[in-house]
Amino acid sequence: MAGVEGRVAIVTGSGGGLGRQHALLFAQRGAKVVVNDLGGSRDGTGAGSEMADQVVTEIIDAGGEAVANYDNVATPDGGEAIVQSAVDAFGTVDIVVNNAGILRDVTFHKMDDAQWDAVVKVHLYGTYHVTRAAWPLLREKSYGRVVVTTSTSGLYGNFGQSNYGAAKMGVVGLINTLALEGRKYNVTANAIAPIAATRMTEDIMPTEMLSALDPAYVSPLVVHLASEECTDSGEVILAGGGNYARVHYMQAKGAQFAEVPSPDDIAAQWSTIMDMDGAQLGRPLSG
């Protein structure tokens, strides 16, 4: 089984939490890892090299290969520099794991533009910037694995996280299209929805719940999705506390009208439109 051995993996936000676990497992399985971390706090403020350096040291001390990168995913230049770090150190890039994230939780009523922009720029734009910089290399070599990090806050909603939820649903829209566009180049794009005890969730979940959600449970899924053997694409997989499950939108049979219906006609058929009995997986319009 080839897995990820010898592959070059970028893991953003891997100075701690989930990203650190991903990076360590990639290295353990024989991948060369770019450990990217801005070194900021949970809300995205501040910066430093210590977090990324520490993970690189752990990997090297265990016999693996890794380099540190401290660039900001939220800018185009940052995305380019992260990918360039992989090329400079290891000659190429094969795997991009978009994990970097921040939180600025506040109810939508109290949300300001700065709180909205900060979160969207790291999660959605950050995923775009790094993946966009790597995409030509992946296409050129006809091989690549892209993993993005979504969230149940995007899939199902969560009070006080409209900025975070919108960004996290945005990355699902991105991989849906990347899966189609990458197909003929042997480039897959998938999303994970992790539930884990990290500094991002330490004050959101009860202590007893957090104790069962070791971040290490999530990383085997990431490494599998990034492996040569996994050719599934455009999928969203939930992972947390030992539970792994596919998440997919379903489309109901619905109601069909021969002519343009009135709002009253829609209302009369509402129960049929909403009935999920016999629903099927949604399908793209093309591809």
**pLDDT at residue 286 greater than cutoff 90:** no
Tell me the residue length of the chain: 287
For 217-263, the pLDDT digits (tens) are: 999 999 999 999 999 999 999 999 899 999 998 999 999 999 999 99
Categorize the per-residue pLDDT at 214 as very low, low, confident or very high, splitting at 50, 70 and 90.
confident
Let me know if residue 283 belongs to a domain: yes
- 160 and 259 both lie in a single domain: no
- 70 and 115 both lie in a single domain: yes
pTM: 0.91
Q: Which domain holds residue 258?
A: 249-287
For 151-191, the pLDDT digits (tens) are: 999 999 999 999 999 999 999 999 999 999 999 999 999 99
- 107 and 166 both lie in a single domain: yes
Q: Which of 129, 60, 73 is nearest to 101 (CA)?
A: 73
Question: How many alpha carbons fall within 13 Å on the CB side of residue 80?
Answer: 3
Tokens of 282: 């949604």
The arithmetic mean of pLDDT across residues 253-274, rounded, is: 97
For 95-120, the pLDDT digits (tens) are: 999 999 999 999 999 999 999 999 99
What does the pLDDT read at residue 41?
57
- 165 and 268 both lie in a single domain: no
What does the pLDDT read at residue 24?
98
The number of beta carbons lying within 10 Å of the beta carbon of residue 13 is 29
What is the distance between the alpha carbons of residues 126 and 124, in angstroms, rounded to a whole number?
Answer: 5
Let me know if residue 150 belongs to a domain: yes
**pLDDT at residue 150 greater than cutoff 60:** yes
What does the pLDDT read at residue 112?
97
- Count the domains in the chain: 2
Categorize the per-residue pLDDT at 201 as very low, low, confident or very high, splitting at 50, 70 and 90.
very low
- 244 and 284 both lie in a single domain: no
**pLDDT at residue 203 greater than cutoff 80:** no
What does the pLDDT read at residue 281?
87
- 72 and 213 both lie in a single domain: yes
Are 34 and 53 a contacting pair, CB within 8 Å? no
Percent of the chain residues topping a pLDDT of 70: 90
Q: Is 164 marked active-site?
A: yes
What is the distance between the alpha carbons of residues 279 and 262, in angstroms, rounded to a whole number?
Answer: 25
Let me know if residue 3 belongs to a domain: no
Let me know if residue 285 belongs to a domain: yes
* Active-site entry in 164, 185, 244, 249: 164
**pLDDT at residue 55 greater than cutoff 90:** yes
**pLDDT at residue 42 greater than cutoff 80:** no
- 254 and 169 both lie in a single domain: no
What is the distance between the alpha carbons of residues 6 and 9, in angstroms, rounded to a whole number?
Answer: 9
- 257 and 199 both lie in a single domain: no
Higher pLDDT, 205 or 79: 79
Let me know if residue 142 belongs to a domain: yes
- 271 and 239 both lie in a single domain: no
**pLDDT at residue 47 greater than cutoff 70:** no
Helix/strand/coil (H, E, C) string of the chain?
CCCCCCCEEEECCCCCHHHHHHHHHHHHCCCEEEEECCCCCCCCCCCCCHHHHHHHHHHHHCCCEEEEECCCCCCHHHHHHHHHHHHHHHCCCCEEEECCCCCCCECHHHCCHHHHHHHHHHHHHHHHHHHHHHHHHHHHHCCEEEEEECCHHHHCCCCCEHHHHHHHHHHHHHHHHHHHHHHHHCEEEEEEEECCCCCCCCCCCCHHHHCCCCHHHCHHHHHHHCCCCCCCCCCEEEEECCEEEEECCEECCCCCCCCCCCHHHHHHCHHHHHCCCCCEECCCCCC
Give the contacts of 40 (CB within 8 A, at least 6 positions apart): 46, 47, 48, 102
- 100 and 45 both lie in a single domain: yes
Let me know if residue 51 belongs to a domain: yes
Q: Which of 246, 234, 240, 213 is nearest to 283 (CA)?
A: 234
Let me know if residue 61 belongs to a domain: yes
Q: Which of 247, 131, 130, 228 is nearest to 178 (CA)?
A: 131
Are 76 and 114 a contacting pair, CB within 8 Å? no
- 177 and 268 both lie in a single domain: no
Mean pLDDT (the chain, rounded): 92
The arithmetic mean of pLDDT across residues 9-18, rounded, is: 96
Let me know if residue 1 belongs to a domain: no
Q: Which of 157, 230, 146 is nearest to 192 (CA)?
A: 146
The arithmetic mean of pLDDT across residues 214-219, rounded, is: 92
Q: Which of 276, 131, 102, 127 is nearest to 198 (CA)?
A: 102
What does the pLDDT read at residue 2?
78
CATH of residue 159's domain is 3.40.50.720
What does the pLDDT read at residue 206?
53
Categorize the per-residue pLDDT at 287 as very low, low, confident or very high, splitting at 50, 70 and 90.
very low
- 165 and 243 both lie in a single domain: yes
**pLDDT at residue 93 greater than cutoff 60:** yes
